[in-house]
């Protein structure tokens, strides 16, 4: 599996001077195993893979937006 560079490079800033593998690890898109080998994380597949359904066919991203910062004090 390969990540699509435009999908993760959009998170780089002028201050991001790390090598690609270090950059991906810092974003949590890859994780190192016990031998130090990098493997894609679930978030890496969902965010940086052009076709995440090929690898995680039942995964999805659910997002919620709200206005303001106030929360309901009576909600459980």
pLDDT tens-digit readout, 10-39: 999 999 899 999 999 999 999 999 999 999
In the chain, domain spans: 5-54
70/76 Cα distance (integer angstroms): 15
Greater pLDDT, 4 or 2: 4
Q: What are the helix and strand counts (H, E) for the chain? A: 3, 2
pLDDT band at 65 (very low <50, low <70, confident <90, very high): confident
Q: What beta strand segments (E) does 1-76 contain?
A: 30-32, 38-40
16/7 Cα distance (integer angstroms): 15
pTM higher than the cut 0.75: no
| pLDDT above 90 (res 67) | no
Question: Beta strands 38-40 and 30-32: pairing type?
Answer: antiparallel
């Amino acid at each position: 599996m390969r990540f699509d560079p435009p999908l993760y490079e959009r998170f780089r800033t002028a201050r991001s001077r790390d090598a690609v593998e270090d950059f991906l690890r810092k974003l949590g898109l890859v994780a190192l195993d016990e031998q130090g080998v990098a493997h894609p994380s679930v978030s890496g597949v969902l965010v940086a893979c052009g076709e995440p359904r090929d690898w995680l066919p039942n995964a999805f991203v659910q997002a919620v937006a709200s206005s303001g910062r106030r929360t309901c004090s009576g909600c459980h």
